[in-house]
């Protein structure tokens, strides 16, 4: 499966020693889709120190992430594991410049009516 979007969070790296005595490392990232009317967020992980270094994912990058989904049970509850196996960087996102408002040239002059000259009684309908 694939998803494309912008990285909005890089979570701390976690690691430990497996039952067989091997060291492991994992890092999680949050990607927000940018092509949809209602953006979605996905938390995925990269497993292995070599893959973490190879992908070198940074906040603000736009990328397409290929991943596998696997569910596992622990104490009667089910948990999803979304593990990335390939990352393709998209175009660098440049900050959007907001246009500076220009004065309107040759606009017709409109004068506001002078209400202070009226000495009419209270015209309120109530």
Does 106 reside within a domain? no
**Residue 10 belongs to domain with CATH number:** 2.40.50.140
Number of domains in the chain: 1
pLDDT in tens, 73-101: 999 999 999 999 999 998 644 444 444 44
Does 56 reside within a domain? yes
3-state secondary structure labels for all residues of the chain: CEEEEEEEEECCCEEEECCCCCEEEEEEEEEEECCCCCCCEEEEEEECHHHHHHHCCCCCCEEEEEEEEEEEEECCEEEEEEEEEEEEECCCCCCCCCCCCCCCCCCCCCCCCCCCCCCCCCCCCC
pLDDT in tens, 8-53: 999 999 999 999 999 999 999 999 998 889 999 999 999 999 999 9
Does 9 reside within a domain? yes
């Amino acid at each position: 499966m694939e998803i494309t979007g912008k990285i909005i969070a890089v979570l701390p790296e976690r690691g430990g020693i497996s039952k067989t005595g091997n060291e492991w490392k994992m890092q999680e990232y949050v990607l927000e889709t940018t092509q949809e009317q209602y953006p979605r967020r996905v938390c995925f992980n990269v497993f292995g120190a070599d893959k973490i270094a190879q992908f070198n994912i940074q906040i603000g990058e736009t990328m397409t992430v290929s991943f596998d989904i696997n569910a596992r049970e622990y104490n009667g509850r089910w948990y999803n594991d979304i593990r990335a196996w390939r990352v393709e960087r998209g175009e660098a996102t440049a900050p959007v410049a907001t246009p500076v408002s220009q004065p309107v040239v040759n606009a017709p002059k409109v004068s506001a009516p002078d209400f202070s000259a009226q000495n009419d009684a209270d015209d309120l309908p109530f």
